[in-house]
Structure 1
Amino acid sequence: GDYPLELRRALDLLDYAGWRKRQPALRAQGRRVGLGIAGYLEAGGSVRPGEWATVKIDEHGHVEVLIGVSGSGQGHETVFAQVCAEYLGATFDDIRVRGGDTTLVPYGYGTGASRVAVNTGNAVAVAATAVKEKAVSVAAGLLECAPDDVRIEESRAFVVGAPARTIPLGQLARVALRERSLVEQGGPGLWATKFYAPPTVTWSSGVHAAVVEVDVETGRVAIVRYVIVHDCGRQLHPVIVDGQIVGGFAQGLGVVLGEHVVYGADGQLLTSTLMDYPLPRAADMPPLVMEHLHFTTDHNPLGVRGVGEGATGPPTAAIANAVADAFDGRLEIRSPVLTPDRVHALLREAGFAAPI
């Protein structure tokens, strides 16, 4: 990635120079406005040591993608169908993704550590490529041409430059069951199981920048503007990536707003219900300005990096930095939890607010 570019874009989108120019006038009006920045690297794609994927085409042309990981809202069924469609040449609607079942894939190494796109995504790509190579071999025989002249698009094979005559994938699958020439490619039939093991983790990166205003009388922190510049390499599904970034930010914001575990003097947990443990609500979310950079990695065929967790950590640091900046760095901020009560206590300690 280009870390200096990320910082420059974040500062431009925040209007950092403009806010710095306006700060003295705002201070003169008694308004405490501060700017905060937090850069980060996210190691994603934990090897563990990799993931399996199976791609198979039945005699009706239906494609199944079998994976070992389970989804919990990340869009596995959509994203891996897209990957399979790209590398196999099948239509998206012909593809079904199934996972989290040991009768389909005996073992999966888990959804977490921003690893699924890197591990399972590439396993699907490699398996789909293997199946396509087998389908191309069968199609070359039926179309009486060289394998290099065969194209597969929209679930049909044809000779390049002569798309009028096509053979559907279902027909190729039926012929492939008795095709002895496929023995050297893993055996007859249009299916393949592959294991992808990434050589190392991938590194996503980004910069968060915030403008906040602190009410000295109450300690309340208001987010005036918030910018996220992020690079996770190639985006398999931009809308899902946006959702991961917004959701990650919301988790980080929750800490600022008061998410923390509290125990009593007797060791009793005091924040055991959502009445006591505050989660961010829709009204707590500020408008976000987001920009994605696209520096693909050469550590895996898809060029993807992890995206699930990168946006969670920076909000606490960026907002804390902005609160400190609003008071010229004179607050002794020792915790990322910045509830009005805690902020007001910091203001009293630093002499900005009168004792209660």
Structure 2
Amino acid sequence: MTVLAVDVGGTKFAAAAVETDGTVLARAEVPLHGRGPVEETLAEVVGRIIDQVGGDHLAGVGIGSAGPLDPCAGTVSPVNIPSWRDFPLVEALEQILPGRPVRLAGDAQCMALGEWWLGLPEGQPSGAVLGVVVSTGVGGGLVLDGMPYLGPTGNAGHIGHIVADVGGDRCPCGAVGCVETVASGPSMVRWAHTNGWTGDDARALAADAHSGDPVARQAFQRAAGTLAAAVLTTSALFDLDHVVVGGGVAAAGTVLFDPLREAIAANAGLGFLRRLRVTPTSLGRDAGLLGAAALVLHQNSGEAGTLVPERGAPGSVPTQG
């Protein structure tokens, strides 16, 4: 069985053809900026996969999208794609591949599911996994007892919008002091600029942090401390085994992960919190695509997809079958 996986990010669209065992048969990626309408970019990246494997061989579609989103309605409103507000993404893909099931979840939820399925170390039981994407924004997703937990609206696990600083900056979501206002790439760069750093972007900030620039290092320490508080809050609620961190900012490596682990260790008071493992994604950029594929593959096998809302059931609470 082969399914189409689609990853809708803030700066690019990616797609892949994925088999039941996780083998990626074909992959395509198209940047969003400097191109035509977003819908055309979506059709282009999906079309590349169809051209490579043939539409008749694709048994379904799994989508991981930046949020907010509504899996029941099949719509998405990514903060970084202003032209898409309540955009009917599921319907758009149903039109491209008619007659095939289409499942939608958040990009970080798909990353968590992909890591739980194929990325976590063997011999380390992980019934409760939090996936965190640190990039243009900060997203999160949960896998609980081996199943993705999306919640009644499909937005569970959105760790980037835990309020970490009640007197902090205004977040693009409209709240004040969200984790994203400190720990996202653009937020880190803005803070560094106000403190005298003159580089261009988060990648340059990471390079300077590795080189020992004090402002760049402090920007990562602030982000790590804020992420640690949010991770511990989530772990206290859900008794997590494992946290997997991915995204462009997470690619900075030790300048993020060392202070993140130190802050978690310093503030994990209860015993069950101290067992928490925090690792970078082992699947890299494929984690979200593999998780998106799993939304369909596990639905059909009776596994993880039982907690993925069906489209057309607004307000309903998905239950395990």
Same fold (TM over 0.5): no
Greater Rg by CA: 1
Q: Which structure carries more relative contact order (alpha carbon 8 Å, separation 6+)?
A: 1
Q: TM-score, normalising length from structure 2? A: 0.25
Q: TM-score, normalised by structure 1?
A: 0.23
